[in-house]
Amino acid sequence: MTDIVDRETRSRMMAGIGGRNTRPELALRSALHARGFRFRLHARDLPGKPDIVLPRYRAVIFVHGCFWHRHADCRYATTPATRPEFWQEKFAGNVRRDAAAVAELRHRRWRVAIVWECGLRTVADVGASADIVAGWLRGDGVTLETGGRATGS
């Protein structure tokens, strides 16, 4: 399948995709704030620059996009038809970088949660995910991975 826009336009469009303050991230932050949690954002001094940092709980939260971070068995984790080798390498690098950041955070004794974008698509999803994260923060769990499994095609 060929692209409907020229290469320069596609490059500009892809470069414009932001990595901070995404809609799923804002939704989760709002829900956590409503539940009384206070946090820092995008801490540059921590590996992976976590989206949400809760120093009081020594916990960090990453809000991962299913496409870019390769959520397993998720229908949103598609691979573009053009230049599939490039995309496989790109995605593999993202996954390796994510794993290295989590490992370093764990080494520094931080608790790590990963919330997937597909688990934050509706208001009900956001509320449920925020409740799960809130329970994890108040408990003693070390790691958490949550998000809906948007399976199918």
pLDDT single digits (tens) 99-112: 999 999 999 999 99
pLDDT confidence of 143, banded at 50, 70, 90?
confident
How far is Cα 2 from Cα 153, in angstroms, rounded to an integer? 20
Higher confidence at residue 4 or residue 127?
A: 127
Reference 64, options 56, 76, 54, 55; nearest CA is 76
**pLDDT 10s digits, 38-97:** 999 999 999 999 999 999 999 999 999 898 899 988 988 888 888 889 999 999 999 999
Query: Is residue 54 a contact partner of residue 96, using CB atoms and an 8 Å limit?
Result: no
Is the pLDDT at 9 greater than 90? The verdict is: no
Contacts of 42 (CB under 8 A, 6+ apart): 20, 49, 50, 51
What angle do helix axes 23-34 and 123-138 make, rounded to 10 degrees? Answer: 60
Look at residue 136 and tell me whether its pLDDT is greater than 90: yes
State the average pLDDT over residues 23-42: 95
What phi and psi values does residue 39 have, to the nearest 5 degrees? -155, 170
- In which residue are the tokens 């939260």 written? 61
Helix (H) or strand (E) holding 107: helix 84-107
pLDDT recorded at residue 1: 54
What residues pair up with 54 in beta bridges, in sequence order? 59
Phi-psi region of 83 (alpha: psi -120 to 50; beta: other; left: phi over 0): left
Query: What whole-number percentage of the chain has pLDDT above 90?
Result: 63
pTM: 0.84
Distance CA 84, CA 87 (A): 5
Domains in the chain (CATH in brackets) are 24-146 (3.40.960.10)
Confidence (pLDDT) at 63 = 94
pLDDT band at 2 (very low <50, low <70, confident <90, very high): low
